[in-house]
């Protein structure tokens, strides 16, 4: 049975891609090990979503700052009004 060594699971940190996990290797892990892998993937996914959202907000902010001074209505409000 595979075990976590020094806080690192060999299937996650020892291979170039976590997609190489096979059903057999997953079934050989304990439920706790599988749940740890899922938690790590959820955390990575959430970090990616947070980064994308932040970049989107910064882009919108820059766009609003570059708009003419007399145009005080935000882009979001304009989009909502058009619909």
Distance, in Å, from the CA atom of 73 to the CA atom of 80, rounded to the nearest integer, reads 11
Residues forming beta bridges with residue 43, ordered by sequence position: none
- 16-71 pLDDT per residue, tens: 455 566 777 878 889 999 999 899 999 999 999 999 999 999 999 998 888 765 45
Max Cα separation, the chain? 68
Q: In the chain, where are the structural domains located?
A: 10-68
Whether 25 and 40 have beta carbons less than 8 Å apart is answered as no
Distance, in Å, from the CA atom of 23 to the CA atom of 21, rounded to the nearest integer, reads 7
pTM value surpassing 0.85? no
Distance, in Å, from the CA atom of 71 to the CA atom of 28, rounded to the nearest integer, reads 62
Whether 44 and 72 have beta carbons less than 8 Å apart is answered as no
Distance, in Å, from the CA atom of 37 to the CA atom of 8, rounded to the nearest integer, reads 10
């Amino acid at each position: 049975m595979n075990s976590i060594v020094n806080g690192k699971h060999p299937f996650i940190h020892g291979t170039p891609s976590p997609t190489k996990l096979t059903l057999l290797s997953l079934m050989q892990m304990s439920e706790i090990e599988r749940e740890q892998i899922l938690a790590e993937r959820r955390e990575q996914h959430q970090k990616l979503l947070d980064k994308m959202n932040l970049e989107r907000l910064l882009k919108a902010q820059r766009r609003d700052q570059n708009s003419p001074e007399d145009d005080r209505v935000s882009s979001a409000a304009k989009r909502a009004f058009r619909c």
